[in-house]
Amino acid sequence: MNSDTQQHNILKGYNMLLYFAGTVIMYKPSEECILDFWTNGILKNLPVSSSNPTFVKAASQLRNTCDDKKICKEILQDDFDRLFDMKEHSLAPAFESLYSKKEIAGSGTYPVGVTEFYNSYGWVSKFKAKMTDDHLAIELLFLTILIDKYVALEDAACQAEMGQEICRFIDNHLFNWIGEWNSKIQNYSNTIDFKGIATLIIACVEDIYSIFSRRTGTIFSIENLKN
């Protein structure tokens, strides 16, 4: 397997994780979700592995998630309500606009709104009528779309440009707030399940950034990211 094919397969694995994690923080866990993902052990067998300490922590947390269907449904739904279901009154709201903005490094300016980034790609969220564009699940969904675009490209120059765009999106609309959001999850969640999901989101975003970034100290070797 050549390195490009390996990288594409790894990125597809991360996209699976991001799509799932976004779904978990957008929708209250249903009986089907609990059966499929928690009690059937899917969360304990992730499609990629990584030497990133954050990813290792996430995998460890997810190996200890609830496995009793009857108990899981009640405690996970209660935890979801506390953490996410009241927007700004939630303990860990998942909206970028509710967290402090940070300046773009070296520019002295603040990032433009995430909707403008979506618009630049002609993308409109199918959830727009019921979920604002700055919800973490929507931002993760858009990130998976950018990654899919990268994987579909064959020209090296176009791939390099799309890789830069992926890093720019992560810099401007994820790294500037998901660390604070994750801290709230770790502090306030009553379940290891949501703690593990939050840690997994951080780990996946870090690893994806590392794949595309050439910054010293941020790159994990492709050999350390496996599917």
Tokens of 139: 């931002």
Q: What is the pLDDT along the chain (227 residues), one digit of tens a residue?
A: 567 788 889 999 999 999 989 988 998 887 676 666 666 666 677 888 899 999 999 999 988 877 777 777 888 889 999 999 876 678 999 999 988 665 555 555 556 689 999 999 999 999 988 899 999 999 999 999 999 999 999 888 999 999 999 999 999 999 999 999 999 999 999 999 999 999 999 999 999 999 998 643 343 443 444 44
Looking at residue 129, its pLDDT comes to: 87
Helix axes 192-212, 178-188, angle to 10 degrees: 160
Asked whether the CA dihedral 91, 126, 138, 113 is positive or negative, the reply is negative
Tokens of 62: 């997810």
Tokens of 10: 């790894």
Looking at residue 122, its pLDDT comes to: 95
- Bridge partners, 95 (sequence order): 135
> Could you give the domains of the chain?
3-226 (1.10.3480.10)
Looking at residue 55, its pLDDT comes to: 95
Distances 200 to 1, 55, 62, 145, 206 between C-alpha atoms, Å: 27, 6, 9, 19, 10
pTM of the model: 0.87
Looking at residue 64, its pLDDT comes to: 84
21: nearest Cα among 49, 42, 52: 42
Looking at residue 166, its pLDDT comes to: 96
Looking at residue 8, its pLDDT comes to: 87
Phi then psi dihedrals of residue 226, to 5 deg = -125, 150
With b for 16 or more beta-carbon neighbours within 10 A and e for fewer, the 140-172 pattern comes to bbbbbebbeebbeeeeeeebeebbebbbebbbb
